Amino acid sequence: MQVADAHLNSEMVLQQLNNTVQEYLADWVKKQHSLFNSQSQIVVDQLQSNPKMVVTTTAMAALFTTYIFFKLLWNSSNDESQKPRKFSVPIPDAAQTHWKGKRLFPTSIRDPENPNTIQAYCPATGQYLGKFPSKTAKDVDEMILKASDAQKEWTNSSMARRLRILISLQNYILENQDLIAHVACRDSGKTKLDASMGEIMVTLEKLQWSIQHGERVLTPSKRPGPTNFFMKFYKGAEVRYEPLGVVSAIVSWNYPFHNLLGPIISALFTGNAIVVKCSEQVVWSSEFFTGLVRRCLEACGEDPELVQLFYCLPPSDHDDTANYFSAHPKLEHITFIGSQPVAHHILANAAKSLTPVVVELGGKDAFIILDSAKNLEVLSSIIMRGTFQSAGQNCIGIERVIVSASNYDVLVNILKNRMIDHPLRLGSDIDHLEEVDVGAMVSDNRFDQLESLVKDAVSHGARLLCGGSRYSHPNYPQGHYFLPTLLVDVTPDMKIAQEEVFGPILVVMRAETTENAIEIANSAPFGLGGSVFGSDYKECNYVADRLKTGSVAINDFATYYVCQLPFGGIHGSGFGKFGGEEGLLGLCNAKSVCYDILPFVSTQIPKPLDYPIRSSRKAWGFIKSFITGSYAMSTWQRIKSLYSLARNAN
* Confidence (pLDDT) at 38: 54
SS3 141: helix
Instruction: Report the distance separating Cα 465 and Cα 484, nearest Å.
Output: 11
Q: What digits encode the pLDDT tens for the residues 254-271?
A: 999 999 999 999 999 999
DSSP 201: I
Q: What digits encode the pLDDT tens for the residues 138-180?
A: 999 999 999 999 999 999 999 999 999 999 999 999 999 999 9
Q: Is pLDDT above 90 for 576?
A: yes
Instruction: Report the distance separating Cα 430 and Cα 176, nearest Å.
Output: 15
DSSP 438: B
Residues 6+ away with beta carbon under 8 Å from 508: 401, 403, 408, 411, 412, 415, 486, 487, 488, 489, 490
Q: How does residue 650 score in pLDDT terms, banded at 50, 70 and 90? A: confident
Helices (H), 155-282: 159-175, 177-188, 192-195, 202-218, 258-269
* Confidence (pLDDT) at 82: 82
Q: What is the CATH number of domain 366-548?
A: 3.40.309.10
User: Are the C-beta atoms of 328 and 322 separated by less than 8 Å?
Assistant: no
Cα end-to-end span (Å), the chain: 80
What would the 3-class secondary structure string for 77-128 be? Answer: HHCHHHCCCCCCCCCCHHHCCCCCCCECCCCCCEECCEEEEEEEECCCCCEE
Annotated active-site residue 360? The verdict is yes
455-459 mean pLDDT: 98
Q: Is pLDDT above 60 for 36?
A: no
Q: How does residue 448 score in pLDDT terms, banded at 50, 70 and 90? A: very high
What is the number of residues in the chain? 650
Signed CA dihedral, 383, 389, 393, 397: sign only: negative
Q: Is pLDDT above 70 for 15?
A: no
List the single range of 166-175, 382-391, 425-434 with lowest mean pLDDT: 425-434
Q: Is pLDDT above 70 for 22?
A: no
Q: Which residue has the higher pLDDT, 563 or 78?
A: 563
DSSP 301: T
Q: Is pLDDT above 60 for 560?
A: yes
Instruction: Report the distance separating Cα 615 and Cα 622, nearest Å.
Output: 10
Instruction: Report the distance separating Cα 517 and Cα 445, nearest Å.
Output: 33
- Cis ω for the linkage preceding 106 (within 30 of 0): yes
Instruction: Report the distance separating Cα 366 and Cα 531, nearest Å.
Output: 6
User: Are the C-beta atoms of 205 and 560 separated by less than 8 Å?
Assistant: no
pLDDT-above-70 percentage for the chain: 88
Rounded (5°) CA angle 389-395-396: 75
Let me know if the fold of 93-362+585-589 is the same as that of 366-548. no
195-209 mean pLDDT: 97
* Confidence (pLDDT) at 431: 83
Q: Is pLDDT above 50 for 16?
A: no
* Confidence (pLDDT) at 63: 74
How many C-beta neighbours within 10 Å does residue 231 have? 14
Nearest to 89 by CA among 297, 302, 306: 297
Q: How does residue 434 score in pLDDT terms, banded at 50, 70 and 90? A: confident
Q: Is pLDDT above 70 for 216?
A: yes
Rounded (5°) CA angle 324-285-355: 25
Q: How does residue 10 score in pLDDT terms, banded at 50, 70 and 90? A: very low
Rounded (5°) CA angle 59-64-66: 95
Nearest to 209 by CA among 129, 255, 269: 269
SS3 276: strand
22-46 mean pLDDT: 53
Q: Which of 360, 499, 512, 515 is catalytic?
A: 360
Q: Is pLDDT above 80 for 372?
A: yes
Extents of the domains making up the chain: 93-362+585-589, 366-548, 604-648
Tell me the DSSP string of 568-607.
--SGGGEE--BSHHHHHHTTEEEEEEEEESSTT------G
pTM value surpassing 0.75: yes
DSSP 611: S
Q: Is pLDDT above 50 for 1?
A: no
Q: What digits encode the pLDDT tens for the residues 41-70?
A: 554 455 456 666 556 656 666 676 666 665
Instruction: Report the distance separating Cα 402 and Cα 213, nearest Å.
Output: 37
Q: How does residue 97 score in pLDDT terms, banded at 50, 70 and 90? A: confident
Instruction: Report the distance separating Cα 118 and Cα 284, nearest Å.
Output: 10
Q: Which residue has the higher pLDDT, 53 or 102?
A: 102
Q: Is pLDDT above 90 for 27?
A: no
Q: Between 159-175 and 258-269, two packed helices, what is the crossing angle to 10 degrees?
A: 160
What's the chain's average pLDDT? 91
* Confidence (pLDDT) at 2: 37
Exposed / middle / buried, residue 560 (Cβ in 10 Å: 0-12, 13-18, 19+): buried
* Confidence (pLDDT) at 55: 61
Q: What digits encode the pLDDT tens for the residues 490-523?
A: 999 999 999 999 999 999 999 999 999 999 999 9
Task: Give whole-number Cα distances, 434 to 196, 216, 426, in Å.
Answer: 18, 47, 10
* Confidence (pLDDT) at 43: 46
List the single range of 66-80, 274-288, 582-596 with lowest mean pLDDT: 66-80
* Confidence (pLDDT) at 602: 87
CA atoms within 13 A on the CB side of 216: 7
How many C-beta neighbours within 10 Å does residue 646 have? 11
Instruction: Report the distance separating Cα 210 and Cα 166, nearest Å.
Output: 8
Between 3.40.605.10, 3.30.70.890, 3.40.710.10, 3.30.460.80, what CATH number should domain 93-362+585-589 receive?
3.40.605.10
Cα dihedral angle (383, 389, 394, 398), rounded to 10 degrees? 10
